[in-house]
Each structure stands twice: as structure tokens, then as C-alpha cells.
Amino acid sequence: MELFKLTAHELQDKIKKGEAAPKEAWCALEERIKSVDNKVNAYVRHSQPVTQNPQFIPIAIKDNICTEGLNTECCSRILEGFKPPYDATVITKIKAANLAVFDLKANMDEFAFGSSTENSCFGPSHNPWNLECVPGGSSGGSAAAVASDQAFWALGSDTGGSIRQPASFCGIVGLKPTYGRVSRYGLVAFASSLDQIGPLTKDVEDSTLLMNIIAGHDANDATSADIPVPDYTKSLINDVKGLKIGIPKEYFVEGIHPEVKKSIEEAINKLKSLGAIIKEVSLPHTEYAVPVYYIVATAEASSNLARFDGVQYGLRVKTDNMIDMYKKTRGAGFGEEAKRRVLLGTFVLSHGYYDAYYLRALKVRTMIKEDFDRVFKECDCIVAPTAPTPAFKIGEKTGDPLSMYLSDIYTISVNLAGIPAISVPCGFTKSGLPVGLQIMAKPFAEEVLFRAAYTYEQNTEWHKQRPKL
């Protein structure tokens, strides 16, 4: 048995039964990384364990989650060499849970700006199912690492789909928790009203186990919710009888790839045959989600990225004038997409344009949230595609930012409304690329997501497929 192929819970069981030693798991993973990561480029850094203990299950960490003393660079030149002086709360929790923390840092789009992991200063990651394709993004390194058995599980962050879309493209499970469910302390901020950390895993059970560790209130994050955390493993119930599932008609219109549509329809039929009650619903403001997002997210990003000025950490381009130092440092340190977003965000917040763009977007955000509130009065969850297409080719969309932005059309509303959503594997295209099924629920109803996702997974074989590398 090759240990690297196991899920985290399978490995945990083996260790408990004495059938595998923790050290063997790490060695197997190290070998696997050595033999395939030259093709996948999932990691930007990997090295020996930082902590060692009995429940030795390594985890891959997106490069925007602070780990004390270990480089955390957001795949940006401006943060080259940055070693955070403290751990993110999720890392503190992982250490407290007796899990090993390694320097296993996963590739990403710079500052999480992107949908393909092509905007990384370390070069793109490749989709393990087809190396000419992107793994999705921005948590593309995390997703590619899990899908190619180079990680038992991983942490990512999701601002507009950055966990779910790569999970869909790579054929794994990705969860965006409710806003406020997981502490953002130590997550390098992109858009503070949208960002959430969440798990990328090989199956639903691992997702519940990781959520049990990372969820909960944190005094260091004023926006974290002081609401008790249930034991999510109790939601691993293989039964959806009577579960009311809404299918939003706006998610099946122009732009959806026919093979994605077919896979999703088959998944819906599967859930129906397992006893779920299926009902068509409407989220009428869906088409406005992408424009709202590119105002709200870039406005918040332009403010959050003001801290990268060459004074306290990271890159500094030396000049003898302060303003020039800022300009040259940021000009040299930010990549193309980061510049584009900071400029757009600065523009929509600038004098004379604030009401026309930013304030208007916040109002339409209310409408999008109200769409969900209405639907959740009559449904337990909503089922839709995670992405309109399977993974696209590397380079296909890099020249056209707008078409890249539209690849998040089905995931963005969830962040704007602050609700939780999960992507689970639900099929493959004829050319062998994975398709993801997205399930959304009302705030703090992760248990509903897990139950629906687990039932679907246990009655299908998609999650057992692995790419040949």
C-alpha cells in the first residue's frame, strides 16, 4: 500500500492501529513530491517537519497563511523572504490538535488575485488531470497537491471561489465556510468582508475533521462569530430523504459548458433518487454578482495592500525620496493582476466615483443576499455547478482579465452573501477533466452541506478517481 494515496482519516486509523508509523507517512509523501511535483508545481516550498508528534499528518498550507518563522510570501515578489513573527490562528489550532506542521507551502495566484494560479511569481501550477490545463485558483497549489496525492489535506482561502473552483477543476472536495466561522487572524488580507480560510480534502469526512480543528471564535479576529462549533463528523449521515434542495434556474443559462450541465443534471437526479425533494428556485440578481464583486473586492484589496510599502518587511527599492520609494517598490513588487486590482479599487473609492460604484455595489450586494434569504425560507440547501466550465488551458485567459473574472460566476455570490458552500466531485468530461457540484446553505449550516455532500459522495465513485502522473 502506498501511504501517500490515503485520505487523512484513513492514515489516522492506520497510525492508531499501529499499521503505519507517522514517520513512514512523511517519507512516502516526500518521495511522492520528489517524483511528481516537477510536473505539477503545487508547492513553492517544502522541507522537513517543524513539529513532530504522534498524530503526524502533514498538511499543505496556502502561501498566504502566516506560519511563524517560515516564509509566507503570497507568491508575490513584494513579500520575498518574509518570515511572519507569529502563527495564524488556524496554524495555532493545528499545532494544538497535535497535527504536524510542515513547511509545505502551496502555490497560489499572487495575493489570491486570480482563478488559475497563473498569477504566481513562482510560475503556474498544472492540473494533475491534464498538465496543459490550469488547476484553478487562487488556491490552485493546494488543490493540485491534494489531487496528485502530494498532500493528505490542505488549507486554502476563498474570497470569490478560490477554494471551490480549484477543488472542482482538480476533482477534490473544497469547503468555503460561513463568513466568521474560521478565524482570519494571520491570513494575509485580500478582501476582509469576503475572505474565509477552509479545507481542501480528498473526501467529505476529511473536510469535517479539518473543520472540527479550525472552526471557532477567536478574540484576535473581531469579525469571527461567537457561535458554538458542532462536532461536524456527526453530519456524516448517508441520508438525504426529505431534504429540500433548490436548483437556481439562473445557474443553467448561457455560458455553461454542455458536459458540465449534463454532469450536474445527473447529480441532481442522483440526489432525487436518494430521496431529496428537488425544486426549481430563482436567484434573480445572480448576473450582478461578478460586477459587484469586482468593485467590493478590489476596493477592499486596494486598502489592504496599502501596507506593502517597503518600510517594515518585504521588498524595498532604494531611493532618497519617500514617495518614490513607495512607488518604485510597489511598481517592482506587484504583479500585473495585483496592479490592475489595486488601481480599480483605488478608482472606485476615489472622490467623485464612490457613490456611482462602491456605494451602488454595496446596495446590490444587499439584493444578492436577500435572494438567498428568500430561497432558504423554502429550501435546506441549493445545488448548482461550481464553475461554468472544466479546467481551461494554461494561457487561454491570461490576456483577457474579464473572461478570467467570469470563470467565478457561480461561486462569487456565496462570498457576497457570507454563506457556506462546498464543491464535491460529480463526474468527468469526455476528455477526462473533473466536474464539481456546488452545494450552498444558509449561514452556519455547514452540517447540511456535509450531510448532502457525504450522501452524494457515498453513493457515487467520483471521489475515488485519481489522476495518472
Provide the annotated active-site residues.
62, 138, 162
DSSP H helical ranges for 131-170: 140-147, 164-170
Q: Which is nearer to other proteins, 33 or 417 (CB)?
A: 417
Q: Which is nearer to other proteins, 67 or 125 (CB)?
A: 67
Question: Does 357 contact other proteins by CB under 8 A?
Answer: yes
Q: Are 196 and 165 in contact (CB under 8 A)?
A: no
Size of the site for other proteins (CB under 8 A): 72
Task: Identify residues 415-444 at the interface with other proteins (CB under 8 A).
Answer: 417-418, 443
Query: Distance (Å, rounded) from C-alpha 469 to C-alpha 35?
Result: 9
Q: Which is nearer to other proteins, 49 or 291 (CB)?
A: 291
Shortest reach from residue 198's CB to other proteins, in Å: 16
Q: Which of 30, 50, 86, 270 binds other proteins (CB under 8 A)?
A: 86
Query: Grid cell 507517512 — which residue?
Result: 25
Nearest one of 248, 223, 228 to 444, comparing CA atoms: 228
Task: Identify residues 191-210 at the interface with other proteins (CB under 8 A).
Answer: 193
> Which of these ranges, 82-90, 106-114, 204-212, 251-259, lies near other proteins under the rule CB under 8 A?
82-90
Query: Distance (Å, rounded) from C-alpha 296 to C-alpha 270?
Result: 37
Q: Which of 106, 187, 295, 384 binds other proteins (CB under 8 A)?
A: 295
Q: Which is nearer to other proteins, 42 or 338 (CB)?
A: 338
Contact characters 378-417, other proteins, x per CB under 8 A: -----------------------xx--x-----------x
| Phi (first) and psi of residue 103, to 5 degrees | -85, 70
Strands of 43-49's sheet in order across: 43-49, 102-106, 60-62, 153-158, 196-201, 173-176, 421-428, 434-440, 381-385, 244-248, 277-281
Joined together, the cell numbers standing for residue 230 give 458542532
Query: Distance (Å, rounded) from C-alpha 312 to C-alpha 181?
Result: 31
**Parallel/antiparallel/unpaired status of strands 153-158 and 173-176:** unpaired
Q: Which of 77, 261, 316, 374 binds other proteins (CB under 8 A)?
A: 316
Q: Which of 95, 313, 374, 460 binds other proteins (CB under 8 A)?
A: 313
Task: Identify residues 228-287 at the interface with other proteins (CB under 8 A).
Answer: 285, 287
Query: Count of alpha carbons within 13 Å of 405, Cβ hemisphere only?
Result: 17
Question: Does 365 contact other proteins by CB under 8 A?
Answer: yes
C-alpha pair distances (Å), 317 with each of 79, 162, 307, 309: 13, 31, 15, 10
C-alpha pair distances (Å), 244 with each of 187, 236, 241, 249: 35, 18, 9, 16
Q: Which is nearer to other proteins, 126 or 341 (CB)?
A: 341
Shortest reach from residue 118's CB to other proteins, in Å: 16
Query: Distance (Å, rounded) from C-alpha 363 to C-alpha 148?
Result: 42
Shortest reach from residue 227's CB to other proteins, in Å: 10
Question: Does 38 contact other proteins by CB under 8 A?
Answer: no
Task: Identify residues 160-179 at the interface with other proteins (CB under 8 A).
Answer: 179
Q: Which of 350, 431, 432, 464 binds other proteins (CB under 8 A)?
A: 350
Question: Does 85 contact other proteins by CB under 8 A?
Answer: yes
